[in-house]
Amino acid sequence: MIDKLLGLRVFEDEHGKMNVSLREIRGAVLVVSQFTLFGDVRRGKRPSFDDAAPPEQARVLYEYVVEKIREQGIECSTGEFQAMMDVSLVNDGPVTILIDSEKVF
């Protein structure tokens, strides 16, 4: 997944096409743990977090991802794991991409 993330061609080339990767632009990454994104709303009206990893396991995975990104020579900033944070950003374009290592139906 890390190779996929760093190699995704989601930045514009000289023709305005999404054709350049984070590696190619020598970009940086902000990794923020976001437990609430794992809410499953396929049934009912209340999100279920039953399939989310326990905090101890999730922290190990979070730190692993950050370490592996940095090993690739990519600048990687982080949020504070398991903390309430206010994060703001400017989204350049109407693109949202879900990266999932296992597609579940």
* Catalytic-residue membership of 35: yes
Which of 35, 49, 57, 82 is flagged as catalytic?
35
* Catalytic-residue membership of 78: no
Which of 11, 34, 81, 105 is flagged as catalytic?
34
Residue partners of 79: CB distance under 8 A and separation at least 6: 30, 31, 32, 33, 85, 87
* Catalytic-residue membership of 96: no
> Count of H helices and E strands in the chain?
3, 4
For the CA atoms of 27, 61, 4, 70, what is the dihedral angle to 10 degrees? 30
Return the active site residues: 34-36
